[in-house]
Amino acid sequence: MRKGQYRFVAGFLLVPVALYVVFVIWPYIQTFGYSLTDWKGQSQTFSFVGLDNYQALFQDDVFLSAIWHNILFLVFIPVITILLALFFAFMLNAGGRSRAGGVQGVAGSKVYKVVYFFPQVLSLAILAVLFNAVYRSDGGGLLNGALIKVGLVDADNPVEWLNEPNLVLWALMVAVVWQGVGFYLVLFSAAMQSIPRDIYEAALIDGANRNQSFFRITLPLLWDTVQTAWVYLGIVAMDMFVLVSSMTQNMGAYGGGPDHHSDVMSTVMMRNFLYYGKSGYACAMGVIMLLLTLVLSVVTLRATRRERIEF
């Protein structure tokens, strides 16, 4: 009987597993193979160079600085996005009080959910166009225009948000957080719906305020969801190719300006692969990105592991 069950399960898994190996695992294996060569990307003629590409990576100042930029994104994007999403989700689901003394969302919470989620429906291309208009360095830019109106910026010397080395990374972070908060607000709101209202009302009767309800009830019961959100946002922070390449000035190609101050690993990789013709070298970068992403996921899951709270 057991053999029949195994055959039945194996029959259903055979095709999906085969497709996964062909279209997911095999490209990874090919990328690692090419990373050990001097492949130029134009033909199948190449020579084996061993670990030379990997040795060159750790002497490449542009790539090393790109790793540092990814680390900054990795630290700030998940933290800011999750904190804002948790705060808004709590206020929209349990931050208000009904006339009967119960717990409910603040007034107009259903409308706010739609407003907060709206940026999520925008594609990254539209997001880039939108924030390029916001950050324009002339008087027509929304942000500079507002600062000029209130007298904080001189009209003859507007802020170069995307061309200033000390500001460009923060400007990109704002765009990512603005788009992402709405999605994680909905994610956390869905998780909060499973928390019995009786728990909040019991805490309210015991005299708990909003801060105590959030830190003693909401956050512990949503920890698994927060952990998942952290991993996804970490993967977003490790990529950032579309926004950097479309919002920052070209450094030959694929963004990264000014003077590589907004470069991330993916933009450096694509520049070497498609613009400089150093495809084997770019494949080595791709392998490093894969390893760092895997390490990030494992470390995040380990670091945020805690006992499951039942209710």
Nearest CA among 79, 80, 107, 111 for reference residue 95: 107
pLDDT tens, position by position, 127-175: 999 999 999 887 678 888 888 888 888 888 888 899 888 999 999 999 9
DSSP state of 106: P
Amino acid 68: pLDDT: 94
Q: pLDDT-derived band of residue 70, with 50, 70 and 90 as boundaries?
A: very high
**CA–CA gap between residue 251 and residue 259 (Å, rounded):** 7
Between CA 263 and CA 124 the distance in angstroms is 18
With 0-12 / 13-18 / 19 or more C-beta atoms within 10 angstroms meaning exposed / middle / buried, residue 236 is: middle
**What does the pLDDT read at residue 173?**
95
Is the pLDDT assigned to residue 272 strictly greater than 70?
yes
ω into 258 cis (within 30 of 0):
yes
pLDDT at residue 108 tops 60: yes
For residue 306, the model assigns a pLDDT of 63
Q: Output the average pLDDT for the chain.
A: 85
Q: What is the pLDDT of residue 2?
A: 64
69: helix, strand or coil: helix
Confidence of residue 102 (pLDDT cuts 50, 70, 90): low
Sign of the alpha-carbon dihedral angle for 286, 288, 291, 294: negative
What Cα–Cα distance (Å) separates residue 49 from each residue in 221, 281, 285? 52, 10, 15
Say if residue 78 is preceded by a cis peptide, omega within 30 of 0: no
Sheet strands (E) in the chain: 96-97, 103-104
Banded model confidence at residue 101, pLDDT cuts 50, 70, 90: low
Instruction: Check residue 3 and give its pLDDT.
Output: 65
- pLDDT, greater one: 122 or 43: 122
- Tens of pLDDT along 16-69? 889 999 998 999 999 999 999 999 887 778 899 989 999 999 999 999 999 999
Q: Token pair for residue 79?
A: 């933290």
Are 274 and 52 within 8 A, CB to CB?
no
pLDDT tens-digit map of 194-207: 887 778 778 777 77
* Between 94 and 298, residue with greater pLDDT: 298
In tens, the pLDDT along 80-94 reads: 999 999 988 888 877
Alpha-carbon distances, residue 161 vs 140, 262, 307 (angstroms):
13, 12, 44
- Of 87-96, 122-131, 172-181, 269-278, which range is least confident? 87-96
